C-alpha cells in the first residue's frame, strides 16, 4: 500500500521563451527541422522533469494553456547532415511562446523497488519550491537552443490570445513515447492522438488513453531492484527544506 494514497492538489506553472521547436517526426531524418504548432505531451513532461524529477515519481500533464498567438519563423542553421558534412539548413521555430501548465504527481508503479520513496506529499512540496526557483535543471522548449524560463502561476489567470477561439483541430500528432522505466508496459512505442485545442486549452489524454501506437522495438526491458535508504531517514532531512 502506498504511503499517501490520497490525490494531491495539482501544480501550476508558466513556461515561456523566445523560440520553441517541437520537431515534427517527418522532418527528423533530414537536415531541416520543422516544429509542430503546439507542444507534445512528452515535451511538456520533459519541461516538468527539468523542474524536479526522481525515478520514484511520475509526472502527469493534465492540460496546457497557449497564451500567445501561434506564429512561426525560419532560421538558417549551420549543422552536420547524415553523412557528416556541414551544410546550411532551414529550421522552422515557434516564436514568442508562453504556456500555462497544470501537472500532478503520481507514484511510479513501474518501480516497486522505490516504494519507500513514494511519499507524494514530500515530492509535491519539493516540486513547488523548485518552480519558484526556476527549476533544478536547464529548461528548453523542445530543443537545447530554445532556452525557456519557468515561474509559478495560477492556471487560467490572465488573457490568452485564444480565449474565444472555440475548437482548433491539429490532426494526428505524437503524444508521447512509452519508456519502460515509467510504465508497467516494458515495450518501446510511440503514442499518437487527435490533437485539439479549445479556447486556448489543450486537454491531454493520459498515456493509457492513447489507442494509436507505433512500436519502436520488439525488445522488452526490466529493471533490477535497488536498495535506497528508508523514507523516514530521508524525510528527517527534508521536513525543514529540501
Q: Do the Cβ atoms of 53 and 43 come closer than 8 Å?
A: no
Return d(Cα 25, Cα 177) in angstroms, integer.
12
Question: What's the confidence (pLDDT) of residue 224?
Answer: 55
Please enumerate in sequence order all residues whose Cβ is within 8 A of that of 148, keeping only pairs 6 or more positions apart, or say none.
15, 16, 17, 20, 47, 139, 140, 141
Question: What's the confidence (pLDDT) of residue 231?
Answer: 46
Return d(Cα 18, Cα 152) in angstroms, integer.
18
| Assigned C-alpha cell, 134 | 526556476
Question: What's the confidence (pLDDT) of residue 222?
Answer: 55
Return d(Cα 120, Cα 128) in angstroms, integer.
12
pTM for this entry = 0.81
Half-sphere exposure (Cβ direction) of 141: Cα atoms closer than 13 Å: 25
Mark 3-35 as b/e (b = at least 16 C-beta within 10 Å).
eeeeeeeebbbbbbbebbbbbbeebeeebbbbb
Q: Which residues of the chain have pLDDT under 50?
A: 1-2, 4, 228-232, 234-235, 238-242
Q: Do the Cβ atoms of 156 and 100 come closer than 8 Å?
A: yes
The domains of the chain are located at 11-232
Strands 187-198 and 212-220, how do they pair? antiparallel
Question: What's the confidence (pLDDT) of residue 9?
Answer: 84
Report the Cα–Cα distance between both ends of the chain, in Å, rounded: 25
Question: What's the confidence (pLDDT) of residue 111?
Answer: 85
Which CATH number is associated with domain 11-232? 3.30.70.2660
Question: What's the confidence (pLDDT) of residue 239?
Answer: 47
Q: What is the DSSP string of 162-199?
A: TTT--EEEEEEEEEEEE-GGGSSS-EEEEEEEEEEEET
Amino acid at each position: 500500500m502506498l504511503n499517501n494514497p490520497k490525490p494531491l492538489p495539482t501544480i501550476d506553472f508558466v513556461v515561456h521563451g523566445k523560440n520553441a521547436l517541437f520537431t515534427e517526426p517527418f522532418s527528423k531524418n533530414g537536415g531541416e527541422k520543422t516544429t509542430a504548432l503546439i507542444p507534445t505531451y512528452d515535451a511538456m513532461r520533459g519541461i516538468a522533469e527539468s523542474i524536479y524529477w526522481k525515478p520514484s515519481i511520475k509526472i502527469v500533464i493534465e492540460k496546457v494553456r497557449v497564451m500567445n498567438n501561434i506564429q512561426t519563423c525560419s532560421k538558417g542553421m549551420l549543422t552536420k547532415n547524415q553523412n557528416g558534412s556541414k551544410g546550411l539548413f532551414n529550421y522552422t521555430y515557434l516564436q514568442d511562446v508562453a504556456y500555462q501548465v497544470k501537472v500532478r504527481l503520481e507514484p511510479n508503479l513501474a518501480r516497486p523497488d522505490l516504494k519507500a520513496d513514494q511519499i507524494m506529499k514530500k515530492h509535491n512540496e519539493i516540486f513547488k519550491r523548485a518552480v519558484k526557483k526556476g527549476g533544478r535543471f536547464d529548461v528548453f522548449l523542445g530543443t537545447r537552443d530554445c532556452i525557456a524560463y519557468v515561474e509559478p502561476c495560477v492556471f487560467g489567470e490572465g488573457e490568452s490570445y485564444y480565449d474565444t477561439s472555440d475548437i482548433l483541430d491539429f490532426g494526428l500528432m505524437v503524444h508521447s513515447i512509452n519508456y519502460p522505466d515509467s510504465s508497467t508496459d516494458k515495450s518501446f512505442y510511440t503514442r499518437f492522438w487527435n490533437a485539439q485545442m479549445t479556447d486556448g486549452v489543450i486537454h491531454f489524454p493520459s498515456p493509457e488513453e492513447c489507442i494509436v501506437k507505433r512500436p519502436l522495438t520488439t525488445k522488452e526491458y526490466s529493471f533490477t531492484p535497488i536498495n535506497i535508504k528508508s523514507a523516514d531517514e530521508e524525510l528527517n532531512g527534508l521536513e525543514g527544506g529540501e
